[in-house]
Amino acid sequence: MYKSLVLMSLGFLTILPNCAQIIPTQSPPQITMNTNLASSSIADLEKAVNQQINQYRASKKLPPLSVDARITQQARIHSENMASGKVKFSHDGFDGRAKAIAIPYQSVAENVAYNMGFSDPVRNAVDGWIKSDGHRKNMEGQFNLTGIGIAKNAKGEYYFTQLFVRSR
């Protein structure tokens, strides 16, 4: 118990305000997808985000979100770019990520989070989103598909991107 308290006291979470960006659009262009896969431990964390988001949605009597590999690929690219420092921790480029989703959709939204030092970085990110009006609005939105990407850099920083999609 003491160890987890120490980790919690050293950890921090950053979530961006005003993440409730929902962009209706026409059918996006098709793209060629990168075939690099996240490591199994990162993939397990991504699955845990989906499970926790769907548990939250169930508590609000909302249907679960299905994970789509094409959406996940876009989320992973953004998280990897933030973790590597290629782009800053932000929603910059959101329009491009939305357009790159290779399925017809009605609307799309995005949540991002960043944390380090927590024994359960997924729970920390999801709890942060629940406590934030804009992020919670996305989580409770009329979406049916999601993609989740997590990246961890050498400093131990976790970067999370979740895209929410309402398909046609």
The 10s digit of each residue's pLDDT in 34-86 is 333 334 599 999 999 999 999 999 999 999 999 999 999 999 999 999 999 99
**φ/ψ of residue 38, rounded to 5:** -70, 155
Q: Which helix (H) or strand (E) holds 97?
A: helix 94-100
pTM for the predicted model, two decimal places: 0.79
Whether the Cβ atoms of residue 19 and residue 99 lie closer than 8 Å to each other = no
